[in-house]
Amino acid sequence: MKEQINSDKKRSPGLFSLLRPYAGMVTLLILFALFSNGLNLWLPRLIGHGIDAYNSGNFSYQIMIKEFLGVAVIIFIFSYLQGIVQTFASERVARDLRMRIAVKISGQSFAFIEKANPSKLLTNLTSDVDSIKLFVSQAIVSIVSSLFIIIGASVLLLTINWKLGLTTIAIIPIIGGAFYTVLKKVKVLFKKSREVIDWLNKVINESILGSALIRVINSQQLEYDKFFAASNQAKDIGVSILRLFAWLIPIIVFTANMAGLTILALGGHYVINGSMTIGDFAAFNSYLALLIFPILVIGFMSNVIAQATASFARISQVLDTEDQPETGKLDTAVSGEIEIKNIQISYGQKAILKDISFKVEPGEKIAVIGPTAAGKTQLLYLLTGLIPATSGSVLYDGKPIDAYDAEAFHSQVGFVFQDSIMFNMSIRENIAFSDTVTDESLGKAIATAELKDFVDALPAGLDTQVSERGLSLSGGQKQRIMLARALAVNPKVLLLDDFTARVDNQTEQKILENIGLNYPGLTLISVTQKIASVENYAKIILLMQGEMLAAGTHEELMGSCPEYVQIFNSQQSTSQYEL
Amino acid sequence: MNYNLNNQPAGERKSSTWTGLKSLLKLVEQERKKLILALAAILLNSSLNLLGPFLIGHTIDKYIQTKQYHGVLVFSGILLTMYLVAFITSYFQTSLMGGIGQRIIFELRNAIFNKIQQLPVAFFNENKAGDLISRVNNDTDKLNQFFSQALMQFISSIMMMIGAGIFLLIINVKLGLATLVPGLFILIFTRAISPWVKHKNALNLKSTGGMSAEIQESLNNFKVIIAFNRRDYFRKRFDTVNQENYRTAIGSGLANSVFLPVFGLFSSIAQLTVLSFGIYLITQGNFSVGLLVSYLSYATNFYNPLRQLASLWTSFQVALAGWDRISQILSLSSNLVTLSAETGQEQTDAVLEFRNVHFGYTGGYEILHNISFTMKPGKTYALVGPTGGGKTTTASIMARLYDPQQGTVLLKGRDIRSYTPEERAEKIGFILQEPFLFTGTVKENILYSNERFHKYSSEEFIGVLKAARLEGLLTTFDKGLDTDILSGGDSLSIGQKQLIAFMRAVLRQPELLILDEATANIDTITEQLLGQILDNLPKETTLVIIAHRLNTIENADEIFFINSGEVSPAGSFKEAVDKLMSGKRTS
């Protein structure tokens, strides 16, 4: 047994090492399985003995029933225990593995999640773990007990009559060969079918997430056609796999039948010439029946192992990613002074931000404006440490951002994202998302974000559940909840990403007033489209295609930057109403 | 209609193994011919397999015991022929039955997807995406496993059992009955505990769906988790659902592992019965040793498939639990029925009219109270008002994503409900607040479901874009029309997504185009460009614009002020602004 594990270990390091913490359980599992299977082997022998005893005239009902029943009950107990241990072992492995993956993911950077792709991580956490679970619950026990039965049955066959035994055992390599050939072909198809399933899932996911759009333009048929193509291919691959297996099973049955025939012809011969008893002959038939099933099991289980190995390789990719470098230890309060020096961010060939430098004094208000895809959001992501710079440095109070302790840092920098991100929990939990939030700062944040009337009007107040993706709230309500979430940590620095886009002007004005009143000394960096609301800011930075085109006060830019003037003019006609 | 799948009324939810099976069997109807062939192959194959031990027993009694080796060889020859035939029938049984399974699951998968496509937006709002995805993927997979692997074994096991049972009774009625008694116990036992096992599996599937929903949400919101340094939040939430899943999995695992030991015990008892009762019969002179040997084989042939059925029964219960969850979806129907087109055509020049419309989302309060207004062709309307006032809801009703609870919406003088979805989608364009992109390229997304331009070559298509003045919008995409869009459009900024959604809607040339904060994240210069594009639309196109940015709406012909579920005409732009700036607002 030990050898088997070792030889497998060379091929697929990891899959078996996964079991190490559960060694006790797995050993228990194997022991129970061996017991119940070993005793199962004993039953035909008892039958043979019974018949022989009857033939030789010293048969006793009492002894036979006692022995037989005793063995049957013990088998029952052990196989039941095996079932219980099997369930606990496999579910524990699965639970712990899922947790390990989740913990690993939770320590990763934003860039990692984007790159690894959330839906792939979902597959890692669900179906990949499931195939490992199947390996633990079925493959280990099945293979060990099958090997045990094959070896045991073979030994017994050989001791009864070695010539006949050898001819019977000859079926093992034949069946093994058939399996090997078929599985080799099936493996290719399995890989293909996995790809088709990914494709199917993608179509399903998009049709669910994009359901509103699909209904607006009535493209259900188009979606169905997309799905049908994938579904049809899945069916075709399924049928091809089936064809291969459809050959496999008859070959095995036929080989086994041939062995039975040999026993009849050859064994019959031995019985006739007296070199074998009729009871042994009967036992031979029983052992043959016993022998075939484990061979089948090993064949099918080798497939389970192959799939589990592939799944574990995918999971290992996640587990083996480097942990994020330890964040710094600095937990001093930041003053709000931020400096960006020669920042460059590139994704592959494409430069997102090119050589950006500027400085923000404590308590200053800075605006970043610029067209779509100018790199404004990336600049904010950089300032919160969500993404790293390719080169250059981000300094808070003269110290690089990664010198700060993550918790200390994030509790001083609030970020309002452009896209509404709501969690399926109560409004209170959505706002007091960080656990450093006190009731007082929660109340202040709600009042500042002009949410008080809205929350008070709800029958369950702050305890109202927000449905998934925030579908029960309007765009502006979500935006304000996100603002309150950022303010609730009592930040020294507040980063707003196009916050005003979905909030009406009146509310926006009130909120900005509230912020000035309730959070004095707050450093504010606001990405926006509206010049009017930021005209009096200390500095306005104009970004275009990743370049810092100009920076200065509104007046300076009006005098020096034609692009800025153009943007200003595009908003001119109505600006009188916006102040 | 209540679309919340996890909160369906309990009344009709109780379904036994049998009713579940019956509705599953309905899926098989068009496969009847193939099914009969497959059953014939299974029947022939099982009989041949059963005949084997009988012939062997006969050979032992007639020839081996009497030491006639010639007879042994003759019967070996007969057996060989039989095995060769069985080889062929066995191939057909697997390929036919498996083929049926594959096609059933194919039909089923398509049926669910088709059903989901028919359901209205409300269905998606009331269920978590992760849970729905889990139902369509995970639960059909459970059925798939059953159909592709277990069904064939299931049927052939039952055939083997019936055949073996008949043989047992034919050879010796008394012994046969005695052998079958333990089987009866198994039957009673199985019937008794199956509902419990199925229930346990259903709980497990439910928690699997919940876990998948949780992972989906956390991973998609990961940037908030990082920015607020709540990595522990992800771990804690995951730990909760993971533990819950573990708990239910243990529950279903323990329930599932009950069958095998019990089946094993009873089959051992059956063997013992054959042996002791058989020997008793031999002492009475009513039986022979040869017959006993083949009888033992038959008993094995009866109880081995039964043991196999134990594990199959488990996968059957899992499949049924999955089937229940799927049929919950299949039993839903759209609440947006198309009325007959004859329902009164009124003479009117209005494109759209709301007549005393009341609306509230399922399980919520009324959001729109008694709203009435009309919109004329070729005009531009702006909907303004504080957040949460009901603007998006009003727009959604215009595009018939929902039907009002009271009142009617008239599209060109006819009840909007009397238009087919095709007609409606052709007439009404709606750019949603949250732009959605499909995996593919920018071009594929712009042309999504656009039959007019679908077959155009790239050059021809660029011509179309030029004519519609849309070409200039492509400059923000680094590879133009061929820029790749990864899942969910994560690689693009929201502004870019809005541009694609804008182009997509404009190229469809609807008569009524609704823009719900469609340009909110686009810079003002590009927005001016969008304004020119809208001006360039055919004269009779009606525009409905929802926006907070005032210059977006300053050219509107008429402005509606929407607040606390009421719509009032705001008059001129200036009046509207005054109302917005000073008016009483509730949100």
Which residues are CB-contacts of A538 (< 8 A; sequence separation ≥ 6)? A361, A364, A365, A366, A553
**Cross-chain CB nearest to A265 (options B73, B87, B272):** B73
The H-assigned helical ranges of A320-404 are 376-383
Residue limits of CATH 3.40.50.300 in chain B: 352-586
How far apart are alpha carbons B434 and B443 in whole angstroms? 19
Q: What is the mean pLDDT of residues B355-382?
A: 88
Residue limits of CATH 1.20.1560.10 in chain B: 29-330
Instruction: Report the 10 Å Cβ neighbour count for A570.
Output: 19
How far apart are alpha carbons B7 and B123 in whole angstroms? 12
Nearest to B195 by CA among B316, B305, B362, B66: B316
Interface of A with B in 298-357 (CB under 8 A): 350
Tokens of B45: 């194959």
Q: What is the pLDDT of residues A497-506, one digit of tens each?
A: 888 777 777 7
Are the Cβ atoms of A91 and B275 closer than 8 angstroms? no
Q: Is the pLDDT of residue B583 over 70?
A: no
Mean pLDDT of all residues belonging to chain B: 84
Predicted confidence at residue A498, as pLDDT, reads: 85
A61 touches B: beta carbon within 8 Å? yes
Helical pair B289-330 and B231-256, crossing angle rounded to 10 deg = 140
Q: Is the pLDDT of residue A4 over 60?
A: no
Q: What is the pLDDT of residues A221-241, one digit of tens each?
A: 889 999 999 999 988 998 898
Tokens of A297: 């099991």
Q: What is the pLDDT of residues A389-424, one digit of tens each?
A: 888 999 999 889 888 888 888 888 988 888 878 888
Contacts of B518 in chain A (CB under 8 A): none
Sole residue written with tokens 């133009």: B480
Q: What is the pLDDT of residues A112-152, one digit of tens each?
A: 887 777 777 888 888 889 889 989 888 888 888 888 888 88
Contacts of B75 in chain A (CB under 8 A): 264
Tokens of A274: 């007296």
Contacts of B510 in chain A (CB under 8 A): none
Q: What is the ipTM of this complex?
A: 0.83
More confident residue, B305 or B545: B545
Least confident residue range of A93-107, B88-102, B332-346: B332-346
Q: DSSP for A539-552?
A: EEEEEETTEEEEEE
How far apart are alpha carbons A431 and A434 in whole angstroms? 8
pLDDT interval class at B8 (50, 70, 90): low
Segment holding A469, helix H or strand E: none
Predicted confidence at residue B311, as pLDDT, reads: 75
Mean pLDDT of all residues belonging to chain A: 84
Contact of B248 with B197, CB cutoff 8 Å:
no
Tokens of B165: 């049972």
Q: Is the pLDDT of residue B11 over 60?
A: no
Q: Work out the minimum CA distance from A119 to partner chain B, whole angstroms.
A: 8
Contacts of A567 in chain B (CB under 8 A): 523-525
A23 touches B: beta carbon within 8 Å? no
Least confident residue range of A87-96, B60-69, B183-192, B339-348: B339-348
Q: Is the pLDDT of residue B44 over 50?
A: yes
Q: Which residue in A has a C-alpha nearest to residue B88's C-alpha?
A: A250
A571 touches B: beta carbon within 8 Å? yes
User: Quick check: helix, strand or coil at residue B545?
Assistant: strand
Predicted confidence at residue B17, as pLDDT, reads: 59
Nearest to B265 by CA among B303, B312, B213: B303
Contacts of B108 in chain A (CB under 8 A): none
More confident residue, B83 or A48: B83
Q: Work out the minimum CA distance from A215 to partner chain B, whole angstroms.
A: 7
How far apart are alpha carbons A489 and B102 in whole angstroms? 55
Nearest to B128 by CA among B260, B314, B3, B1: B3
A386 touches B: beta carbon within 8 Å? yes
Q: Is the pLDDT of residue B360 over 50?
A: yes
Are the Cβ atoms of A68 and B275 closer than 8 angstroms? yes
Angle (CA) A168 A171 A177, round 5°:
165
3-state helix, strand, coil in chain B (%, to 5): 65, 10, 25
pLDDT interval class at B87 (50, 70, 90): very high
Nearest to A272 by CA among B72, B386, B410, B77: B72
Predicted confidence at residue B394, as pLDDT, reads: 92
Contact of B150 with B31, CB cutoff 8 Å:
no
Q: Which residue in A has a C-alpha nearest to residue B299's C-alpha?
A: A286
* A-B Cβ pairs (cutoff 8 Å, strict): 477
How far apart are alpha carbons A322 and A219 in whole angstroms? 43
Q: Which residue in A has a C-alpha nearest to residue B478's C-alpha?
A: A350
User: Quick check: helix, strand or coil at residue A413?
Assistant: strand
Architecture of domain B352-586: 3-Layer(aba) Sandwich (3.40)
Q: Choosing among B550, B554, B585, which should be mutated to test the A contact, i.e. which has the most A CBs within 10 A?
A: B550
Interface of A with B in 143-182 (CB under 8 A): none
Nearest to B492 by CA among A373, A350, A387, A546: A373
How far apart are alpha carbons A75 and A180 in whole angstroms? 33
CA-derived radius of gyration, chain B: 34
Least confident residue range of B18-27, B149-158, B419-428: B18-27
Q: Is the pLDDT of residue A575 over 50?
A: no
Are the Cβ atoms of A529 and B524 closer than 8 angstroms? yes
Nearest to A373 by CA among A340, A347, A403: A347
Angle (CA) B209 B213 B214, round 5°:
120
pLDDT interval class at B32 (50, 70, 90): confident
Q: What is the mean pLDDT of residues B423-436?
A: 90
Contact of A113 with B219, CB cutoff 8 Å:
yes
Contacts of A113 in chain B (CB under 8 A): 219, 222
**Half-sphere exposure for A157 (CA within 13 Å, toward CB):** 25
Nearest to A565 by CA among B472, B528, B525, B555: B525
Q: What is the mean pLDDT of residues B238-248?
A: 93
Predicted confidence at residue B148, as pLDDT, reads: 67
A285 touches B: beta carbon within 8 Å? yes
Q: What is the pLDDT of residues A198-218, one digit of tens each?
A: 788 888 888 888 888 898 888
A202 touches B: beta carbon within 8 Å? yes
A47 touches B: beta carbon within 8 Å? yes
Predicted confidence at residue B354, as pLDDT, reads: 93
**Cross-chain CB nearest to A122 (options B219, B229, B498):** B219
In degrees and rounded to multiples of 5, residue A417 shows phi and psi of -75, 160
Nearest to A194 by CA among A225, A240, A231, A234: A234
A6 touches B: beta carbon within 8 Å? no
Segment holding B1, helix H or strand E: none
**Cross-chain CB nearest to A102 (options B86, B238, B492):** B238
In degrees and rounded to multiples of 5, residue A415 shows phi and psi of -130, 125
Q: What is the mean pLDDT of residues A78-93?
A: 92
pLDDT interval class at B580 (50, 70, 90): low
Contacts of B433 in chain A (CB under 8 A): 475, 502
Least confident residue range of A60-64, A363-367, A477-481: A60-64
Q: Which residue in A has a C-alpha nearest to residue B62's C-alpha?
A: A268
Which of the four CATH numbers 3.40.630.10, 3.20.20.70, 3.30.1330.10, 1.20.1560.10 does domain B29-330 have? 1.20.1560.10
Q: Is the pLDDT of residue B554 over 50?
A: yes
Contacts of B577 in chain A (CB under 8 A): 577
How far apart are alpha carbons B6 and B325 in whole angstroms? 9
Q: Is the pLDDT of residue A287 over 60?
A: yes
User: Quick check: helix, strand or coil at residue A534?
Assistant: helix
More confident residue, A73 or A55: A73
Q: Work out the minimum CA distance from B176 to partner chain A, whole angstroms.
A: 18
Phi-psi region of A397 (alpha: psi -120 to 50; beta: other; left: phi over 0): left
Contact of A24 with A13, CB cutoff 8 Å:
no
pLDDT interval class at A7 (50, 70, 90): very low
Residues forming beta bridges with residue A389, ordered by sequence position: none
How far apart are alpha carbons B37 and B482 in whole angstroms? 51
Predicted confidence at residue A2, as pLDDT, reads: 39
Q: Determine the length of chain B.
A: 587
A219 touches B: beta carbon within 8 Å? yes
More confident residue, B211 or A502: B211
Q: What is the pLDDT of residues B115-147, one digit of tens each?
A: 888 899 888 888 887 788 778 877 887 887 787
Q: What is the mean pLDDT of residues B148-152?
A: 71
Largest CA distance in chain B: 116
Q: What is the pLDDT of residues B306-330, one digit of tens each?
A: 777 877 887 888 888 888 888 888 8
Q: Which residue in B has a C-alpha nearest to residue A452's C-alpha?
A: B587
Contacts of A77 in chain B (CB under 8 A): 261
Contacts of A206 in chain B (CB under 8 A): 438-439, 487
Contacts of A410 in chain B (CB under 8 A): 227-229
**Cross-chain CB nearest to B124 (options A208, A272, A571):** A208
pTM, two decimals, is: 0.80
More confident residue, A331 or B424: B424
Are the Cβ atoms of A278 and B64 closer than 8 angstroms? yes
A70 touches B: beta carbon within 8 Å? no
Q: Work out the minimum CA distance from B197 to partner chain A, whole angstroms.
A: 14
Predicted confidence at residue B582, as pLDDT, reads: 61
How far apart are alpha carbons A345 and A379 in whole angstroms? 9
Are the Cβ atoms of A411 and B229 closer than 8 angstroms? yes
pLDDT interval class at B430 (50, 70, 90): very high
Are the Cβ atoms of A227 and B548 closer than 8 angstroms? no
Helical pair A220-262 and A162-169, crossing angle rounded to 10 deg = 160
Angle (CA) A101 A105 A108, round 5°:
145
